Structure 1
Amino acid sequence: MQRSTYAFLSAALLTTALSGAPAFAQPAGQAQGQAQAQQQMAPPPAIQPTDQQLQRFASASQKISGVVDEYRPKVDAAKTDEAKQKVVEEADAKMVQLVRADGLTVEEFNGIGQAVQQDPQLKQRVMGMSKGGPAAK
């Protein structure tokens, strides 16, 4: 379960980067190392998301950004690594629920996130959807 937690949090970090919000704070650069490890292990995404999937991704991304903003101070305030891990796991569970509520699996969300990071046109479409711009139609 821990591997999927970090995989999802890495995707959440990438999603947060889309919104321009600061990354979720984790101890000793752990998130950065995990994100780099995921990128090195994962092959380039073959996914070409539909407009509906992109809309769901944009919606979930906005909600996840709120969770990241909510939990960042809690992680920073945690005194021990164990306490930080507990807060991260709580945030992860909340983010998983939000993604599923928007009709995506975690794997779909992560795959779309990778595709968006690698394709500037997809990224622009998602950003337009997030802001309710013309790309949302």
Structure 2
Amino acid sequence: MKKLLPTLIASAIFATTAATAAPVQQSAQQNAQQGQAMQQQAKIEMTDELLQKFMVAMNDVQKVSQKYSEQFQNAENAEEAQAIQQKAQQEMIAAVTGAGLNPDEYNAVIQRVQQDPQLQQRLQEMTE
């Protein structure tokens, strides 16, 4: 079980990053929105309840990622790959909201886990 958490987190990060990757369209408005999202993420308190929801969401996101991974890799063209990616993203968002989180909360936990060894340990202990 100890090896499972880093794998799940890595999968969740990959899945979230892959699923939310969009055509590059950086504008001042998007940059402002990203800045606001990062400020909101810093304010989210890492309660046990939030982390429990995160663990459920992460597990479900990983399942969606696995479900679409092969299809995405075997896409015959960019349009097909994009359609698969969009479908996977919709299912991942549904998985996150189904676990009781919004995508910003989910992404905030992922970012904090990457940066905070104590939070990593806390999640590890929750999985045992």
TM-score past 0.5 threshold: yes
Residue deviations 1:58-109 (CA, integer Å, cap 9, x gap): 1110111111111110001101111001000000000111111111011111
Instruction: Tell me the amino acid that sits aligned with residue 51 of structure 2.
Output: L
What secondary structure, in the 3-state scheme, does the structure 1 residue paired with 2:46 have? coil
Quick one: percent identity of the two aligned structures? 32
- The structure 2 residue matched to 1:58, chosen from 55, 58, 61, is 55
How far apart, CA to CA, are the structure 2 residues paired with 1:115 and 1:22?
Answer: 12
Name which structure has the greater RCO, CA cutoff 8 Å, separation 6+.
Answer: 2
TM-score by length of 2: 0.68
Query: Whole-Å Cα distance in 2 between the matches of residues 70 and 119 of structure 1?
Result: 30
Counterpart contact for 2:9–2:110, Cα < 8 Å: no
Which secondary structure state, in structure 1, belongs to the residue aligned with residue 82 of structure 2? helix
Aligned equivalents of 2:12 and 2:101: distance in 1? Answer: 22
1:91 equivalent in alignment to 2:82: no
Question: How far 1:124 moved relative to its partner?
Answer: 2.3
Q: Could you say which residue in structure 1 is the equivalent of 2:67?
A: 70
Equivalent residue, structure 2, for 1:100: 97
CA distance in 1, matches of 2:119, 2:72: 31
Please give the TM-score of this superposition, normalised by the length of structure 1.
Answer: 0.64
Secondary structure class of the residue paired with 1:104: coil
Q: Which residue of 2 aligns with 1:119?
A: 116
Cα distance in structure 1, aligned partners of 2:107 and 2:91: 16
Aligned to 2:9: 18
Q: Which runs of 5+ in 2 are unaligned?
A: 1-5, 25-30
> Where does structure 1 lack aligned partners over 5 or more consecutive residues?
1-14
Deviation, structure 1 residue 126 = 2.1
AA at the equivalent of 1:60: A
Question: Hey, what's the Cα distance between the residues in 2 that align with 1:79 and 1:16?
Answer: 29
RMSD over equivalenced CA pairs, Å? 3.1
Measure how far apart 1:128 and its partner are: 3.4
